[in-house]
A = this chain, B = another copy of it.
Amino acid sequence: MAKVEEKIENGADGDVVVMKFGGTSVAGPEELKRAAARIVAAREEGSKVVAVLSARGKTTDELVEAAYEISERPDPREMDMLLSTGERVSCALCAMAIHDLGHQALSLTGSQAGIVTDSSHTKARIMEVRADRIREALGDERIVLVAGFQGVSTESKDVTTLGRGGSDTTAVAIAAALEASVCEIYTDVSGVFTADPRIARDARKIPVVSYEEMLEMSASGAKVLQLRAVEYARNYGVPIHCRSSFEDGPGTLVVPESETMERPLVTAVTHSTGEARVTLSGVEDEPGIAGRIFGALAEANVNVDVIIQNEPLEGDAGADLSFTVDRDDLKTAVDVIEGLGGISDGVRTDEQIGKVSIVGAGMRSHPGVAARVFEVMGERGINIEMISTSPIKISCVIQADRVPDAVSGLHEAFDLGADATFPEDPTGEHRPTVRP
């Protein structure tokens, strides 16, 4: 443990730092030059720097749009060939800006950087990082820029992409491969907050959060870090520093949970309105049915979130089975279910659902948190349609239009506002290195 914090604190002289810049941080020439200046500053402090960049501003959206102008169902392999160009443009331009600041830079595609993935086009998983070329360039005193969000498939040598937000994963995977002291994720927000500040006006920035909490938060709607990136960071013990590319000062550190961390009962309230519910009525009550359904969905790369099944009443034809999926996957999910044929009496979908969650490592040792959540919802007359829990999270699926009310109610009930005392990492062990 101590070793990790030491690496973050003394992250200078020869240590590798991975810095990732999101789309808004490289959108125009000014933003791009600012990112280049940050990268050069880190280099001049003595670190070896690898920067992972996203596509500029709305580039990816525009490319997706161009694809749908051509085809209603664009071929996934070709979609990856198309989308991977955006990050390459960012990297080439940033390398030019770094050259002008008097440093040597080298831009690499995901393939050139050795990001080897499986062959699931548009949703590929990183299998290995063959970082030889990055290491060689760092050894030559160069700053290395890597196109995020992409790799090359191990079998067919095709360009693959990692799915939306995949650049975070690229950055963490490279940080792990190079044993970087820290992976800094630069975005347009200054860190991870106790709730969406647009909904809970008194939301505060969280100084330190554990991988486990961050995982639950990312999974339940916090957009600042991508779920798979956090997962990867936890698996390889990569400390993440999530911060603003537009202002200085520390952001939020994501690190292993340690004994010295004093944790509040609830760390944050998260929410999401990007899901949809599928309900199968009259599902036959026989073993293996659920396995067939969810196996087929997994096969089609559809992530299922919350699942509930009502026991069939005596004499009923079958049970009702409901589950939620990403709204983008709804069409695929329905196609898959219908493809199974005769598994239920009917399929209903509901796109007007939302989910609100509370996350906190402190929950583990404090019973009664769930009861308080239900009280808050009850007081506000919000109907809970589905519930899912983990040792450090409680999620409620509710009507989409009630989400803001639920978020501010829970944020207040668990005392997460700016006036509340928030443990500020009293040991100082998690203090991040602050770059200019």
Chain A contact residues, CB within 8 Å of chain B: 29, 32-33, 63, 66-67, 69-72, 74-75, 77-79, 81-82, 84-86, 88-89, 91-93, 95-97, 99-100, 105-107, 109, 112, 157, 159
Cβ distance A116 to chain B, nearest Cβ, rounded Å: 16
* A99 partner residues in chain B, CB cutoff 8 A: 71, 75, 78
Cβ distance A270 to chain B, nearest Cβ, rounded Å: 35
- What are 19 A-B residue pairs whose CB atoms fall within 8 Å in the complex? A66-B89, A66-B93, A67-B92, A67-B93, A67-B96, A70-B96, A70-B97, A71-B99, A71-B100, A72-B100, A75-B99, A75-B105, A78-B107, A79-B96, A81-B109, A82-B88, A82-B93, A85-B89, A112-B157
Residue of B nearest to A84 (CB): B88
Residue of B nearest to A69 (CB): B29
- Whether B96 pairs with A74 at a CB distance below 8 angstroms is yes
Cβ distance A118 to chain B, nearest Cβ, rounded Å: 19
Bound-state CA distance A242–B212 (Å) is: 63
Residue of B nearest to A100 (CB): B71
- Whether A75 pairs with B63 at a CB distance below 8 angstroms is no
- Whether A92 pairs with B69 at a CB distance below 8 angstroms is no
- Whether A29 pairs with B70 at a CB distance below 8 angstroms is yes
- Whether B70 pairs with A93 at a CB distance below 8 angstroms is yes
* A66 partner residues in chain B, CB cutoff 8 A: 29, 89, 93
- Whether B32 pairs with A70 at a CB distance below 8 angstroms is yes
A78 and B92 in contact, given A29-B69, A29-B70, A112-B157 (Cβ under 8 angstroms): yes
Residue of B nearest to A111 (CB): B111
Residue of B nearest to A112 (CB): B157
Residue of B nearest to A90 (CB): B82
Cβ distance A51 to chain B, nearest Cβ, rounded Å: 14
Residue of B nearest to A33 (CB): B70
Cβ distance A84 to chain B, nearest Cβ, rounded Å: 8
User: Which of the listed residues A86, A93, A100 has the most CB atoms from chain B within 10 Å of its own CB?
Assistant: A93
Contact partner of A96 (CB less than 8 A), chosen from B32, B71, B96, is B71
Q: A63-B89, A70-B100 are in contact. List 18 more A-B contacts (CB 8 A).
A: A29-B66, A33-B70, A66-B89, A66-B93, A67-B92, A70-B93, A71-B99, A74-B96, A78-B92, A78-B99, A79-B92, A81-B91, A81-B109, A82-B88, A82-B92, A82-B93, A85-B86, A85-B89
Bound-state CA distance A70–B107 (Å) is: 15
Residue of B nearest to A72 (CB): B100
Cβ distance A72 to chain B, nearest Cβ, rounded Å: 8
Cβ distance A194 to chain B, nearest Cβ, rounded Å: 38
Bound-state CA distance A84–B33 (Å) is: 22
Residue of B nearest to A159 (CB): B109
* A91 partner residues in chain B, CB cutoff 8 A: 81
Bound-state CA distance A235–B85 (Å) is: 34
Bound-state CA distance A77–B112 (Å) is: 14
Residue of B nearest to A85 (CB): B85
* A78 partner residues in chain B, CB cutoff 8 A: 92-93, 95-96, 99, 105, 107
Bound-state CA distance A63–B75 (Å) is: 26
Bound-state CA distance A100–B70 (Å) is: 9
Bound-state CA distance A123–B157 (Å) is: 27
* A67 partner residues in chain B, CB cutoff 8 A: 92-93, 96
Contact partner of A107 (CB less than 8 A), chosen from B81, B86, B89, B95, is B81
Cβ distance A92 to chain B, nearest Cβ, rounded Å: 4
Residue of B nearest to A80 (CB): B92
